[in-house]
Amino acid sequence: MRARWPAHPWRGLLSAAAALALALPAVAAQPWRQQLVAGATPERPVPVLRREAQSAAQSESHGESHGEAQPRVVVIVGSGCAGMGPMANDYFRGLERAQVWVLHKPHTRPWVRRDAGDCDAGFVREDRHSRWQADALHALAALRSAEPERPTWLVGISEGADLLPALGRALGASLQGLVLLSASGLDPADTVRLQAQRLGRSDVWDAIRQAAQSGRPDTDVEQGRSLGHWRDLLAWRLFDDLTREAWTVWHWWGDADALIPAEAQARFVREATGRALRLCTQRWPGADHGLHSAATGALQPVLWQRLLANTGSPGCPAP
């Protein structure tokens, strides 16, 4: 019998979906709306959750200051097919004065939370980095074409961070910075390898690489992902793309993350130091993959507060 890793531990699931496990009302006073936006091909539209920025009077009830610009925050979700809709109010609390677009992979239903093993065959077949990046770029261009430009932050949750350099280049002068949440910033194959070593399952990673190098078709499934997915992941180069340009990169991670090894996070900081980017790294003791810790609770509100306060500022946020 072939060895199998438990619950896809090599990359993140939708980061906070498992970590927060929120049960929110599905109907009342919902500020989020969903739209399907054209992807790279007609059969792969991108589901987007969006919430408009509140006025200063509205956001006063949230205790926010009114001196910051109202930015746009574009969020690229992590791996898996779980939607962020049921948890969006809590996850993005504190970000009411920004316009928020949450891009989900094709074949995802944003209002349905599903375990990684429950993704349908269409999702598994299409889930690969090259297609997702092409779809996200088309969707972002379509969304921007219908809206005035705003200062824009790009947020990548776990695997979603793998797309940030390409999307950042597409934004050009509108880009404020890239935000990596529970993502190492290394090439994804390096992160997977380090996770396999931590789990004592380097043999499984070796088997995945051997299958990817075989003549089997892309549609074959190995460890819950298509071989097309693994082939893209093995060829994907993230580290150089993140570090060769002079943009601001916020790197937030918890040292109790069960899905991304602390060794990978520390290696990124070590190797990125001195490169062209402006690196703003924040390690959170005791925080898990969803950036939640027993001591401090969810850390996302802290992030959003600092993000709003630093819109228009080139520096790193104050600790």
Tell me whether residue 4 is in a domain. Answer: no
User: Among 2-6, 214-218, 232-236, 313-317, where is mean pLDDT lowest?
Assistant: 2-6
pLDDT at 66: 42
- pLDDT higher than threshold 50 for residue 55: yes
At 36-48, the pLDDT tens digits run 999 999 999 999 9
Tell me whether residue 319 is in a domain. Answer: no
Tell me whether residue 265 is in a domain. Answer: yes
When divided into structural domains, the chain yields a total of: 1
Tell me whether residue 16 is in a domain. Answer: no
Which pTM was predicted?
A: 0.89
Q: What share of the chain is helix, strand, coil (3-state, %, to 5)?
A: 40, 20, 45
Domain that holds residue 144: 29-310
- pLDDT higher than threshold 90 for residue 8: no
User: Quick one: residue 162, left, alpha or beta (phi over 0 = left, psi -120 to 50 = alpha)?
Assistant: alpha
Q: Which tops the pLDDT comparison, 64 or 175?
A: 175
Tell me whether residue 5 is in a domain. Answer: no
Tell me whether residue 3 is in a domain. Answer: no
**Dihedral (Cα; 191, 242, 256, 302), 10-degree rounding:** -160
Tell me whether residue 10 is in a domain. Answer: no
- State the CB neighbour count (10 A cutoff) for residue 54: 19
Q: Measuring CA to CA, how many Å separate 134 from each of 32, 62, 117, 127, 172?
A: 25, 37, 25, 12, 17
Dist. CA 158–CA 79, nearest whole Å: 7
For 92-131, give one letter per residue: b (16+ CB within 10 A) or e: bebbbbbbbbbbbbbbbbbeebbebeebeeebbbbbbbeb
Which of 114, 278, 249, 268 lies closest to 188 in space, CA to CA? 268
For residue 19, name the pLDDT band (cuts at 50, 70, 90): very low
Paired sense of beta strands 292-293 and 152-157, if any: unpaired
Which of 87, 63, 140, 59 lies closest to 292 in space, CA to CA? 87
What mean pLDDT is reported for the chain? Answer: 88
Residue 111 sits in a domain whose CATH number is 3.40.50.1820
**Whose structure tokens read 């932050």?**
153
Tell me whether residue 315 is in a domain. Answer: no
For 295-316, give one letter per residue: b (16+ CB within 10 A) or e: eeebbbebbbbbbbebbeeeeb
Q: Which tops the pLDDT comparison, 33 or 67?
A: 33
User: Among 10-14, 149-153, 295-299, where is mean pLDDT lowest?
Assistant: 10-14
Q: Measuring CA to CA, how many Å separate 284 from each of 123, 236, 265?
A: 33, 27, 12
- pLDDT higher than threshold 60 for residue 255: yes
